[in-house]
Amino acid sequence: MLTILALASVILLGIVPQQSEGIVIYTGWERHALVGSDIRLSCSFFSWRWTSDDVTFSWSYRSDGARDAISIFHYTGGAPYVDNKGPFRDRLEFVGNPGRRDGSILLKNLDYGDNGTFTCDAKNPPDIVGRASSVRLLVFEKVPIQAGVITGSIIGAVLGLLLLIVVIYYFMRFLVARRVFNLSVSKHGKKGKGKEGSQQRQGPTLSIGDPSKLKAAASEKKKQESRKDKK
């Protein structure tokens, strides 16, 4: 009985058509570029399914101040199609790889009028349910310094200041230790010189001779004096 129920559930599951699952699309958040330069706008997606031969990509563009977006690119049936009436008809190139779920485009010779929002949508049948992703493009004469660069500069300056403080601290300690050492050496030198001076002021100690020898010397001196008197 259990075997029959299992076979019946397998048959029913095989008959029920597979439902499409969600697809997640990724683009950048914001891109900066210089006037006259080229920029690559990336678009990729995540899907639980294998990449289908019927995968599609589509890009739309809404300029700053405009209410509606216009279509500028499609990839379908294995071939790319650039809109022949939009502002990028001569400046857009498909540089993606659909087999690797990459629908990136390249915009050439940018101008201030290209500022706006670019939206990418992708389908990987049967995964066709998903939200399109958008990236904002800002074109400048000079690319502004981004917040990350400013933060990195501040962190670098703080670390440099801390390193300088540490170096100054150890240098001052070295100077103090050297000063203490010199004072200690000078004090020991003065004590040694004082001892030598006191020894020199005292002079050598006189030894007292033998009394018998002194008497003999005195008698010998008297004899010599008496001889001189006789002469």
pLDDT tens-digit map of 157-203: 888 888 889 899 888 888 888 888 887 777 776 665 555 555 555 54
Residue 146: pLDDT band by 50, 70, 90 thresholds? low
Instruction: With respect to residue 194, please indicate whether it lies within any of the assigned structural domains.
Output: no
Instruction: With respect to residue 208, please indicate whether it lies within any of the assigned structural domains.
Output: no
Instruction: With respect to residue 202, please indicate whether it lies within any of the assigned structural domains.
Output: no
pLDDT at residue 142 tops 50: yes
- 93 lies in the same domain as 166: no
- Last residue in a domain, options 90, 112, 140: 140
What's the predicted TM-score (pTM) here? 0.56
Report the range of poorest mean pLDDT among 64-73, 106-115, 131-140, 171-180: 171-180
- 136 lies in the same domain as 149: no
- 26 lies in the same domain as 130: yes
Instruction: With respect to residue 15, please indicate whether it lies within any of the assigned structural domains.
Output: no
- Percent of the chain topping pLDDT 70: 72
- Last residue in a domain, options 140, 162, 192: 140
Instruction: With respect to residue 34, please indicate whether it lies within any of the assigned structural domains.
Output: yes
Structural domain count of the chain:
2
- Last residue in a domain, options 140, 161, 188: 140
- Percent of the chain topping pLDDT 90: 48
* Contact criterion met (CB below 8 Å) for 143 and 38: no
- 171 lies in the same domain as 135: no
Q: Which residue has the higher pLDDT, 221 or 89?
A: 89
- 105 lies in the same domain as 170: no
Q: How far apart are CA 180 and CA 185, in angstroms?
A: 9
Instruction: With respect to residue 2, please indicate whether it lies within any of the assigned structural domains.
Output: no
| Predicted confidence (pLDDT) per residue in 9-18, tens digit | 434 334 334 4
Residue ranges of alpha helices (H) inside 103-210 are 147-202
Q: How far apart are CA 69 and CA 106, in angstroms?
A: 19
Average pLDDT, whole number, for the chain?
Answer: 81
Cα(first)–Cα(last) distance of the chain, in Å?
172
- 134 lies in the same domain as 149: no
pLDDT at residue 33 tops 50: yes
pLDDT of 190: 62
- 71 lies in the same domain as 149: no
Q: Which residue has the higher pLDDT, 125 or 7?
A: 125
* Contact criterion met (CB below 8 Å) for 127 and 20: yes
pLDDT of 148: 57
- 101 lies in the same domain as 155: no
pLDDT at residue 73 tops 70: yes
pLDDT of 168: 92
Strands 39-41 and 43-46: unpaired
pLDDT of 153: 75
- 36 lies in the same domain as 132: yes
Q: Which domain holds residue 151?
A: 145-177
CATH code at position 52:
2.60.40.10
- 84 lies in the same domain as 128: yes
pLDDT at residue 72 tops 90: yes
